Amino acid sequence: MIEDLWYKNTVLYALNVETFMDANGDGIGDFEGLMRRLDYLHALGVDAIWLSPFQCTPNKDDGYDISDFFNVDSRYGSGGDFVEFMHQANKRGIAVIIDLVVNHTSDAHRWFQTGRSQKETKYYNYFVWSKRRPKGWNKGMVFPGVQKATWTLDKVAQEYYYHRFYDFQPDLNMDNPDVRTEVRRIMGFWLQLGVAGFRVDAVPFVIESALPNQKAKMHFEYLAEFRKFLQWRSGDAILLGEANVLPPDHLKFFGEKEEGLHMMFNFYVNQHLFYALASGDAAALEKALVKTQNLPRTAQWAHFLRNHDELDLGRLTDAQRAVVFERFGKDKNMQLYDRGIRRRLAPMLGTKAQIELAYSLLFALPGTPVLRYGDEIGMGDDLNLPERNAVRTPMQWSNDAQAGFSLHKHTVQPVISKGPFSYDEVNVEKQRRDENSLFNWTARMIRIRKECPEIGWGEWKALRTGSPNVLALRYDWRGRSMLTLHNFSDKPQEVRLRPGVKGADTLVNLLANEECHAAGQVHRIPLEGYGYRWLRIGTHSQILETPKD
């Protein structure tokens, strides 16, 4: 069967144009700069880029407050630069996914400006209003501690408007068919410019109707409507949803008949993964994986370690969250919104051994891996910056002034210039020269990951190892099988396992190119502290079939 599901075996790289590379020297990253770095991304092995919002914005929420959906913010370049960038990316075989931020607009958007001041226009009903202050006006905030309400009085309209996020982000009224038509227009516009799909922001809130004094209702049919439109316009484009939901609710978002999202970030596994890293215990992670197993055929998880937001730990038990805080975010200043940690991966984990373990695991999780810019060189955070900006500092290219990111003295976010993660210690140029650097290790892992389509496409099963600290996953796809092992403990472990595949007396170590043979059915494999293995089951010379994607 021909399968065009390209996203099942791809490596996605997340970046913000604003902080990636500044070509015109005004201190702000731009499309021209990003274009000059495409060969870098290609060398790393990236197949697809996810761009965070770059449309016109007052930029009070890192671009997630859009004031014009159809134009590039002039600080990043022009529409012409965007099209040139698309051409250059596609020429290198790199697909581009962009954010679809349609839960809300910026309050500076023309729709809101018109709707609030001219209630007789159709734009009034683009938003969600209440003449009186609704009962739950101070409930359901996404940014507790910073955000004070979800219903705020608009001085111009003299009515309350609904906003799940900050008060400058009024929610769109998705129950209004005109608004859904606008969403399709936005999708159609960017698809026409060649994007391969959308990372859909805040999906559960996009599809909820939040009427004053009523229980919110979810409309999964809106997702189906968007997917149908997307697929008509571009057969292989995808929707990658941001939906931090508890299993088994994820199935409703994918749609049991594959009518919903193609992909979703697996927040549930992400949180348990950090618990495993913090506690050394693999059991809760294995359970989380099992709970999110068995997806419809076209559905796929996107796995990640860190993203541009806080590490949200809201789905863990209080006891589990306390363990993660204790190990990775002890100081109050490292924590955010009473539920998360605002740090980058490398400073949290500390040692190269644990960083490698975490990344090896990311590539081994059943689904598609998503890397975040800067994590491939182990960039740090700046806890002096407010809220989530701590993890949004400019990319560190070299030890030139401003990390080689810009020629301007003042950059859009300060570069990290002090301490062990400063740009003269941690930068791309230095790591590309060093065979043993995290950059070169990551590039090698990406190459190997691409040679293991079983992980993205196959069925998987957790195997018993005899150690509570080791996660063992076996993947089977089209008659071939492989196995990965990850030891979350800093102590060495001996794993004893039965691969459970006929004739599996040979395991080929894909990272070291050596084989081991089992005398009987049980393999004994020693693992160092934080050790990991990628093993192909069977003989070395198996003829491997490539997925037709």
Residue 475: strand, helix, or coil: strand
| Contact positions with ligand NOJ (CB under 6 A) in 95-154 | 101
Tell which residue, 542, 485, 499, 538, has the closest CA to residue 515: 538
Nearer to Ca ion, 25 or 466 (CB): 25
| CB proximity list for 29: less than 8 A, separation 6 or greater | 16, 17, 18, 19, 20, 21, 22, 76, 394, 395, 405, 406, 412
| Residue 407: partners with Cβ closer than 8 Å, 6 or more residues away | 22, 25, 401
Is the Cβ of residue 26 or residue 68 nearer to Ca ion in the bound state? 26
Window contacting ligand NOJ (CB under 6 A); options: 61-69, 119-127, 475-483, 518-526: 61-69
Integer angstrom CA distances of residue 285 from 201, 247, 278, 288, 324? 25, 14, 12, 5, 13
Catalytic annotation on 242? yes
101 makes contact, choosing from ligand NOJ, Ca ion, none, with CB < 5 to 8 Å by partner type, with ligand NOJ
The interface partner of residue 165, options being ligand NOJ, Ca ion, none and the CB cut-off 5 to 8 Å by kind, is ligand NOJ
Angle of CA points 94, 97, 245, to nearest 5°: 130
- Selected catalytic residue, list 22, 65, 107, 201: 201
Q: Cβ of 4: how many Cβ atoms within 10 Å? A: 11
Residue with tokens 């150690």: 467
Exactly one of 154, 242, 356, 376 is catalytic; name it: 242
Indicate the residue among 50 and 229 with the shorter CB distance to ligand NOJ.
50
- Closest CB 355 distance from ligand NOJ, rounded Å: 23
By three-state DSSP, how is residue 14 classified?
strand
154 is catalytic: no
Nearer to ligand NOJ, 356 or 382 (CB): 382
- How many residues of this chain bind Ca ion (CB under 5 A)? 5
**Cβ-closest position to ligand NOJ:** 64
Torsion of the alpha carbons at 508, 512, 516 and 521, rounded to the nearest 10:
-60
In whole angstroms, what is the distance from residue 385 CA to residue 176 CA?
39
Q: Which amino acid is at 315?
A: R
Written as six digits, the tokens of 293 are 């197993």
Q: Per the structure block, which two tokens stand in for 51?
A: 């761009």
Residues 19-38 within binding reach of Ca ion (CB under 5 A): 22, 24, 26, 28, 30
Which residue, 102 or 285, has its beta carbon nearer to ligand NOJ? 102
Q: Choosing among ligand NOJ, Ca ion, none, which partner's interface includes residue 30 (Cβ < 5 to 8 Å by kind)?
A: Ca ion
Residues 159-198 as x/- pattern, contact with ligand NOJ by CB under 6 A: ------x---------------------------------
Question: Distance between CA 72 and CA 80 in Å, rounded?
Answer: 9
103 versus 279: smaller Cβ distance to ligand NOJ:
103
309 near ligand NOJ, rule: CB under 6 A: yes
Q: Which of residues 432-491 bind ligand NOJ (CB under 6 A)?
A: none
Interacting stretch for ligand NOJ, rule CB under 6 A, among 29-37, 57-65, 342-350, 392-400? Answer: 57-65
Instruction: Report, in Å, the least distance between residue 143 CB and ligand NOJ.
Output: 8
Residue 83, classified by CB atoms within 10 Å of its CB into exposed (0-12), middle (13-18) or buried (19+), is middle
Which entry of ligand NOJ, Ca ion, none binds 24, CB below 5 to 8 A by partner kind?
Ca ion
Q: In this structure, are residues 279 and 289 in contact, taking their beta carbons and an 8 Å threshold?
A: no
Question: What residues are labeled active site?
Answer: 201, 242
Q: Which residues bind Ca ion (CB under 5 A)?
A: 22, 24, 26, 28, 30
Q: Which residues bind ligand NOJ (CB under 6 A)?
A: 61-62, 64, 101, 165, 201-202, 242, 308-309
